[in-house]
Amino acid sequence: MQRYGQLTGCAPLPPRWALGYHQSRWGYGNEENLRRDLRGFQEHNLPLSAFHLDIDCQVKHRSFTIDPQRFPRLDDFVQELGNAQVKLIAINNPGIQFSRQSNLCLQGLILNAFCTYPDGELVVAPVWPGRTVFPDFTHPRVRAWWSQQFAYLLEIGIAGFWNDMSEPATFVLWGDRTLPQVAQHYLEGRGGDHREAHNVYGLLEAKAAHDSIREFQPQHRPFIVSRAGWAGLQRYAWTWTGDIVSTWEALRQTVATVIGLGLSGIPYSGPDIGGFSGNPTAELYLRWLQMAAFMPFCRTHSSITVEPRSPWSFGEPYLGIIRRFLQLRYSLLPYFYTLAWEAAQQGYPLIRPLFWLDWQDSSLWEIEDAFCLGEALLVCPIVEAGARSRSIHLPKGRWYSFWNEAMFEGGQTVEVAAPLETIPVLVRAGSVMPMVEENRLILHLYPLDFGESCSHLYSDAGEGYGESRLDCFRLIRSEDSLELVWEQQGNYGFSYAGIQLHVYGLAVTQAWIDGEATLIENRQLNCSNFQRVRFAIG
């Protein structure tokens, strides 16, 4: 993965808000429906980071439009969302309506921006706007022109863009649902046809959107979601697992798909929670969300043909469980953000197969229904209706339950309880798990039997390209003590109001902070900045 990152590029650090929860629906239609959902999130005490607009919010499905009749004061609405710490993401398709009434089409015709047949005739195919022409993103002039179109939406506060249909896709009755193989492309001046250009089409469209944000809002980190791409897409965009159906089989397949994307260099992906097509049962939606709470891209989205799907749609007890998992997602943001920094530095995916931790154990090679989030967490989704436990073959080492004091020895298959309220999540021994609660940094300490381990915490402003810091926490276990050593690098200030340490798996009788004895209760210790904390083991 490091070598692949060196070859094709590593994913840049995303804005921190992008790692929160996103809500989307094909069928929102207008501003009032989004405002109604915003009130729902607030009334049900559910965290939210972004809304995504689908094509029903455009003018006749035309690119770079948001219907002013459906959103009569879009700038005010974006500000209203911003006051609630919620971003707005706009959808975009590459196809342009072939019409003299479309200014974008006229510009493209003047620039010779659209793909043609070998005889020079325009490639025209049916897509959402009707008869559609297709920009040739293999031409730098076309990419530059495309980048300019985002400016006015960025100006009013649109925070990112969702590139859909970017294979490019067309509506045809037979054959490949894309451009004809003979469609001509510039290919950076070398020339060629769609057989060669097809895979890079979505990649270069994503690059144009990414470059636009970098140009017009250089103080912000771009957020782009693309349905298509090729090697190197991670430099410009996230992706998702497509228009999947609302079935248990699709839920299980999601795990393998996201693992595979990560091993293909794309660290940021996730599913439409609950599936895109169909109406999931309350149990299926809950199990899907419980899994997605531990994936990089956490978004509910659904088709216009299904019932509206918000986290409160299924009532209790599901709403209460969903609330706890979404709140957990936000408390884990320090860990997610550190993994994002690691992806930017090393090319590592956030979601990893179990064999990442122990490639010599062949029992782990084909596990496709569980995953590691970084090196500390092992997540075991529930992928069968009615299941209240599941088995998992653990990588070597000791594992702690995330939910209670249970411990498991690795290198064997274990059965783990999975009541409706939780899914099995295990923590690897040697981990220091950073979490946040009310602006306090909570460090959960999961010691080894013996020896030393190191965990990192990356921090910055969450946006832009300013100062940063890297905190290293070394956990040292000996026969009669446990020590936590804190080493700090970087110029970004420590942004938490306080620190709390939680010790797991050991009976702790006494604690010292930088040599001074201090009170510890229930294996929890409140403190501030320190260099070394030592715990005596009873």
Peptide bond into 168 cis (omega under 30): yes
Spatial distance between the Cα atoms of 280 and 322, rounded to a whole number of angstroms:
15
Same-domain status, 424 and 299: no
Cα dist. 309→37, 279, 319 in Å? 10, 9, 12
Convert the pLDDT of each residue in 234-271 to its tens digit: 999 999 999 999 999 999 999 999 999 999 999 999 99
Could you tell me which residues come within 8 angstroms of residue 39 by beta carbon, excluding any fewer than 6 positions away?
none
User: Is the domain of 286 the same as that of 406?
Assistant: no
Q: In what order do the strands lie in the sheet with 87-92?
A: 224-226, 160-163, 87-92, 50-52, 21-24, 298-300
d(CA 149, CA 160): 13
67 — alpha (psi -120 to 50), left (phi > 0) or beta? beta
Q: Are residues 384 and 275 part of one domain?
A: no
The encoded tokens of residue 23 equal: 């809500």
Which residue type sits at 314?
A: F
Statement to judge: residues 274 and 376 lie in one domain: no
- Mean pLDDT, the chain cut into blocks of 10 residues (538 residues total): 97 98 97 97 98 97 97 96 98 97 96 98 97 98 98 97 97 93 98 97 98 97 98 98 97 98 98 98 98 98 96 98 98 98 98 96 96 98 98 97 95 97 98 97 97 98 98 96 97 96 94 94 93 94
- Are 296 and 288 a contacting pair, CB within 8 Å? no
What's the token pair of residue 186? 């510039």
CATH value at residue 54: 3.20.20.80
Q: What does the alpha-carbon distance between residue 97 and residue 122 come to, in Å, rounded to a whole number?
A: 13
Which tens digits make up the pLDDT trace of 274-313?
Answer: 999 999 999 999 999 999 999 999 999 999 999 999 999 9
Instruction: Assess whether 330 and 371 both reside in one domain.
Output: no
Q: What is the pLDDT of residue 276?
A: 98
Whether the Cβ atoms of residue 179 and residue 134 lie closer than 8 Å to each other: yes
Please report, as a single letter, which amino acid is at residue 112: N
pLDDT of residue 216: 97
Taking the C-alpha atoms of residue 156 and residue 161, their distance in angstroms, rounded to an integer, is 13
Domain presence at residue 107: no
End-of-domain residue from the set 378, 397, 428? 428
Boundary-marking domain end, from 397, 428, 459: 428
Quick check: 116 and 123 in contact, CB under 8 A? Answer: yes
Q: Residue 188, Cβ neighbours under 10 Å: how many?
A: 12
Return the pLDDT at 405: 85
Specify whether 173 is located in the same domain as 279. Answer: yes
Q: Tell me how far the alpha carbon of residue 49 is from its chain's centroid.
A: 12
SS3 track for 286-305: HHHHHHHCCCCCEEECCCCC
> CB under 8 Å to 65, separation ≥6 — which residues?
58, 59
**Could you tell me if 191 and 155 lie in one domain?**
yes
Q: Do 468 and 532 belong together in one domain?
A: yes
User: Cis omega before residue 218 (within 30°)?
Assistant: no
Counting the structural domains of the chain, the total is: 3
CATH number at residue 381: 2.60.40.1180
Residues annotated catalytic, as ranges: 164, 167, 243
Range of the domain at 17: 11-95+136-335
Q: What is the pLDDT of residue 538?
A: 82
Residues 28 and 67 in one domain: yes
Give how far Cα 312 sits from Cα of 40, 53, 305, Å.
Answer: 8, 20, 19
